[in-house]
Structure 1
Amino acid sequence: MLKVAHSKRYAHPLPEGHRFPMEKYELLPEQLLYEGTLRPSNFFSPEALADDWILKAHDPSYFNRLKGLSLSKSEIRRTGFPLSQQLVDREVHIMHGSVQAALYAKEFGIAMNIAGGTHHAFKDRGEGFCLLNDLAITAFYLLEKKLARKILIIDLDVHQGNGTAAIFAEVPEVFTFSMHGEANYPMHKEKSDLDIGLKDKTDDATYLSLLRETLPRLIDAEEPDFLLYQCGVDVLASDKLGRLGMSIQGCKERDRIVLETARKNRLPIMCCMGGGYSEKIAHIIEAHANTYRLAQEIFF
């Protein structure tokens, strides 16, 4: 059974003037239920993740100041969010959603988090709509619990997973692969184990050819036994922050390549949603929904 983390906390309301498509966290599960891709039994509601696990990936000083709502104005500005208790609660629930989804992936082959993919969060700071890094926390959890020996993080959001790359720079048990817009945010890129920078307006054919060539080679070379997949849909040509030239169908084929590779190699995979900022919310929902449709088609 496909298990999906979702909580009403994910759709955290923001003050007027802070444009961020939080509504997708409610609309996406509604669409998946409406069309019959998922049933209520597919969803689970995450709890707050224990601090001890968050501290595997984040400095105590930063996390304690975050919990205490005592970040500096510049630190808050860097995250892109006005800081509040509700926002922090949302974040720690998202962290548990990804960890629990990874446990379900061990059982069923694949599991998803409606939220997550917070790859811009560093060990000691938040950036770019990311306060804590669920990919890093989940990877450390799997390694510590001896549920994985080698983890491959596949980050196909349009923005480089800079926080994730920095956290795992000296952790050989985790290989970070980021395929992103080379001229896009963040302007200063960290060094992933493998970075593929894409030119503005990169089309479906170019993108998919690169991915088909790269991913099987990485699987063969690194021999991971667990995959974490950041599947942001800000690669779309319609995305306000993306600058690539991909269609919704191309984005779907991207996901098909990743999920079929996982299935073929019998590698459990946890998928977290990442970014998506198209003007029309329908484009965001359709692109995200395709990931879930493919998961059902390929794994179940």
Structure 2
Amino acid sequence: MQVFYTDQFVLPLPSGHRFPMGKYRLLRDRLAAELPEIRLVPAEPASEGQLALVHAPGYIQAIGDGSVDPKILREIGFPWSLAMAERARRSVGATIAACRAALREGVAANIAGGTHHAYPDRGGGFCVFNDAAVAARLMQAEARRGLRVAIVDLDVHQGNGTAHIFRDDPTVFTLSLHGQKNFPFRKEPGDLDVDLPDGTGDEAYLQALERALDELGHRFDPGLVIYLAGADPHEGDRLGRLKLTWDGLEARDRRVFDWAWQRGLPLAFAMAGGYGHRIEDTVQVQVNTFAVALGYARRWQNRPR
């Protein structure tokens, strides 16, 4: 299974910043040590032309040269730097590469990504460019026939930017399960939004996910799934509040991968959010997701041709 990474680009964040930048390198180290079947590949940056499939040219240029509006930077939550701009482009590039690999091999991943709060002309919530949106548009442009894409967003926060980008596009279906009272406080209507109360827990969450995937299957026939496997629904997350256990999150991942496998759908996934009180807990949730994914990647490799 190919997994693309960008953790060699570390943002120079001020002391005490709440974004856990170190989780990406910790995750890559764990995957290299514990799941040797994974092929770790450094991601290439997305080009300006690829980004322009979703993002406004002026915004792309402003992120590139540092002329971005300070208000937008405050909404993003990162200070501008060359490393910030390069990492943002490579995070999109990693999801592009994961989608291409998934279309060939069945399952692939981006260690980062899931930047679903980015709009065409602005970022927000630690998201600069919208990797899933750019990748979906590019896969459609590269496909010989019309490709329909389902974005299954299981970050604890609603993917408002993604929903906005595809609100009038019948070829991309956005499904989001998220905290009803969590950020963003103004939600954007997607194709299927499931608002969950604080403290939802494993059983109610998994039942809601089962219903949502069933509805997705009845309403839409995708050729590619992009899965945002957020670690932030975990009970140890500072920003999550949905209170899922380790077992609940692993069951969540298995349900999504199995849903795609049963339909013969290639699946690319990105790690999205994770803000555990202990960074090790966030990384463990993500390692568990990769272990589940690897099992399904083996199935793809062994399926009859």
Residue 55 of structure 1 is matched in structure 2 by 52
Question: TM-score, structure 1 length as denominator?
Answer: 0.96
Pair 1:112-2:109 in alignment: yes
Tell me: CA distance 1:110–1:67, structure 2 relative to 1, closer, same or farther (3 Å): same
Pair 1:80-2:77 in alignment: yes
**Match for 1:164 among 162, 169, 172?**
162
Residue 271 of structure 2 is matched in structure 1 by 273
Q: Is the 1:10–1:115 Cα contact (8 Å) retained in structure 2? A: no
Residue 288 of structure 2 is matched in structure 1 by 290
Identity between Structure 1 and Structure 2 (%): 38
Deviation at 1:125, TM superposition (A): 0.2
**Match for 2:181 among 174, 180, 183?**
183
Deviation at 1:152, TM superposition (A): 0.6
Pair 1:96-2:71 in alignment: no
C-alpha distance after superposition, 1:71-119 (max 9, x if no partner): 1221111101111111000010111110011010011101000000000
Aligned to 2:71, what secondary structure does the other structure show? helix
Residue 66 of structure 1 is matched in structure 2 by 63
RMSD, aligned α-carbons? 1.2
Counterpart-to-counterpart distance in 1, 2:65 and 2:182: 32
Gapped runs of 5+ residues in structure 1? none
The aligned runs of 1:1-300 (5 Å cut-off) are 2-35=1-34, 37-39=35-37, 42-146=39-143, 149-300=147-298
Deviation at 1:220, TM superposition (A): 3.1
Q: Is the 1:117–1:133 Cα contact (8 Å) retained in structure 2? A: yes
Deviation at 1:298, TM superposition (A): 2.4
Counterpart-to-counterpart distance in 1, 2:294 and 2:45: 28
Aligned amino acid, residue 118 of structure 1:
T
Counterpart-to-counterpart distance in 2, 1:258 and 1:113: 17
Show structure 1 runs of 4+ deviating over 6 A: none
Deviation at 1:156, TM superposition (A): 0.4
Gapped runs of 5+ residues in structure 2? 299-305
C-alpha distance after superposition, 1:189-231 (max 9, x if no partner): 0111110000010010000011112203312320111100011
Counterpart-to-counterpart distance in 2, 1:116 and 1:170: 24
Deviation at 1:30, TM superposition (A): 0.9
User: Which 10-residue stretch deviates more, 66-75 or 4-13?
Assistant: 4-13
Counterpart-to-counterpart distance in 2, 1:33 and 1:299: 17
Counterpart-to-counterpart distance in 1, 2:48 and 2:236: 38
Count of residue pairs brought into register by the alignment: 297
Deviation at 1:10, TM superposition (A): 4.6
